[in-house]
Amino acid sequence: MSFDQTCKTIVADAGVNIPEIDCKTVLDAMEAGEPMPIIIDIRPEVERIEEGLIPGALHIPTGILACAVDEICESDADLDRPVLCQCRSGKRSLTGTQILKQSGFRCALSLRGGIKEWQALGGPVEMPRG
C-alpha cells in the first residue's frame, strides 16, 4: 500500500468508533431544559468570528485541545460529564472527540453536521462583538 493510499485510509476511517450526536437531539434537549453537555468549539478563531459560537461553548482550537484539559474539567468527576466537540461541518470534531477520549473523557461526542447544521435547524449562535 502506498503512502497516499495509507493516508486516505486513515482519513476515511477517522469517524469509525467515534460516537456522534445529531444537532436536533441536542437542540431538543436544550429546548426541554435538560442539562447541556460541555460544548467545545474546536474551529480556528477566524471561523468562530465569521460563523459565531454556540452559546456557552468553550472555544479551544484543535491544536491546543490536548493541552487544555484543565480548562474543561476541574476534577476527575468531570471526566464523566458529557463533552460535545463541535466544528464547522462535523468532520474535524471527530478528531477533537478522539483527542478528548484519549485525554480521559469517558463521554466525549462529536456534533454531527457541526455549526452549519446547528444553524440550519435554527440553533442559537452568538456572534462576537467587533
Whole-number Å distance between alpha carbons of 59 and 8: 29
Here the cell at position 115 is 455549526
Is the sign of the CA dihedral 74, 77, 81, 84 positive or negative?
positive
Q: Which of 23, 85, 87, 107 is catalytic?
A: 87
Exposed (0-12), middle (13-18) or buried (19+): which is 111, by Cβ within 10 Å? buried
**Among this protein's residues, is 73 annotated catalytic?**
no
Task: Just list the catalytic residues.
Answer: 87
